[in-house]
Amino acid sequence: MKLVILDRDGVINKDSVNFIKNPNEWIALPGSLEAIALLNQSGFRVAIATNQSGIARGLLDMATLNAINDKMHRALAQMGGRIDAMFYCPHTADDNCECRKPKTGMILDIGRRFSVELSEVYAVGDTLRDLRAFADAGCKPILVRSGKGEETLAAGSLPPNMLIFADLNEAAQHIIAEDI
């Protein structure tokens, strides 16, 4: 099975320092939904691994997170795409859980759920915590310059052998070309 793991905020949709707290604040990045649909049409399953500490902070509840994700699913369906699984961490960094990126718990769970070797899985993020979690779990990390990607690139200390692309669309094109 071919699988790609994506972070959500900053990769698929616009990010916000104030968190995405309701469906109206969820705005797809240009080309991101088409990129996911293209991955699907090329035989890839897509899973999302996202930190959502806004839940623990009381900024949104599960019903609101589900409504935000429903908006994303509907928008993707209109493009002929789909997300095969949503994994999220509702905790803050202070909770010291195993699922919050940069820890690998969520990524390892995805690998088990899909019964895949994570060394064969591309994983796309825009922050160092995404990339560290992906690399430490054994994935092939990709940094996109969208979201916080430019900041992340400028800060350095990136995992070795990481690929860098402008956005999810460019990353998807590479992933598909590598699969041929």
> How many structural domains comprise the chain?
1
C-alpha 9: how far from its chain's center? 7
pTM: 0.97
Number of helical (H) and strand (E) elements in the chain, helices listed first:
6, 6
| Three-state helix/strand/coil letters over 31-53 | CHHHHHHHHHHCCEEEEEEEECC
Known catalytic residues? Answer: 7, 9
pLDDT surpasses 90 at 3 = yes
CB 91 within 8 A of CB 113: no
Domain that holds residue 63: 2-179
| Locus of tokens 């591309």 | 122
pLDDT surpasses 70 at 180 = no
Q: 140: domain CATH number?
A: 3.40.50.1000
Look at the chain and count its residues: 180
* Nearest Cα residue to 10 out of 23, 19, 1: 19
Q: What is the pLDDT of residues 68-119, one digit of tens each?
A: 999 999 999 999 999 999 999 999 999 999 999 999 999 999 999 999 999 9
